Amino acid sequence: MDKVATYQKIIFVKSADIDELNHVNNVVYLSWVQDLAKEHWQIRASQEIINQYKWVVVNHDITYKKPLKFNQKAFIKIQVFDNAKGALWGRMVWIYDDSAVLVAEASTQWCLVDTQSFNPRRITDEIKSVFFSL
């Protein structure tokens, strides 16, 4: 069985999230994806590791399935799998409405970089251990 690290959060849709079509703007979904990936890293990693490494987005592939409206709850689940390759590591994100209906899903790819040089860094067991017990 593959290792999986999961992080979940509930967000309430604010008026600032709504676009001219009267639903959550696509860019807002993307910001939720990025914000949760960052939060997941920051709650698990030590301050020393956070000071040494950052994540840079390489790719987001997001599919919108159903709109969210003002004042709805969004249940967001992010998962990291034990499938890092070199400096790259993907995450999956699912966003559900308050009826547990999938409204969007994203596959994202991140590159680990050194905070001083911003050069890519291979994902070592130390970095994997932030999410998994090795």
Under CATH, which architecture does the 4-131 domain have? Roll (3.10)
Would you state the structure tokens that stand for residue 85, as one six-digit string? 């390759």
Q: For tokens 């860019």, what's the residue?
A: 27
Which pLDDT band holds residue 133 (cuts at 50, 70, 90)? confident
Shortest CA distance to 98 belongs to which of 13, 17, 37?
Answer: 13
The structure tokens listed for 36 are 């949760």
Lowest mean pLDDT across 1-10, 60-69, 104-113: 1-10
Indicate whether this model's pTM tops 0.85: yes
SS3 117: coil
CA distance 83 to 116: 26
